[in-house]
C-alpha cells in the first residue's frame, strides 16, 4: 500500500538581512527507509 501526503508549508523568503529563512525543507532522500515518528522535513 501507499500513503501520499500533500501539505502547505512556508517557502523560502528572500532574506536580505540574512535572517534565517523559515522555509520548509525535506530531510529525506528517495529510497530511504523511514519509520513512524521520524521527521520527513522541518
Interface residues toward other proteins, by CB under 8 A: 1-11, 13, 23-24, 26, 28-42
* Cβ at position 25, least distance to other proteins in Å: 10
Nearer to other proteins, 11 or 16 (CB): 11
Give CB contacts under 8 A, 24+ apart, made by 3-12.
Answer: 5/40, 9/41
Closest contact distance (angstroms) between CB of 14 and other proteins is: 11
| Cβ(13)–Cβ(19) below 8 Å | no
Distance of CA 7 to the CA centre of its chain: 10
- Cβ closest to other proteins, residue 5 vs residue 19: 5
Amino acid at each position: 500500500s501507499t500513503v501520499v501526503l500533500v501539505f502547505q508549508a512556508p517557502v523560502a523568503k528572500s532574506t536580505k538581512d540574512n535572517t534565517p529563512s523559515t522555509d520548509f525543507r525535506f530531510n529525506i532522500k528517495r529510497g530511504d527507509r523511514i519509520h513512524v515518528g521520524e521527521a520527513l522535513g522541518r
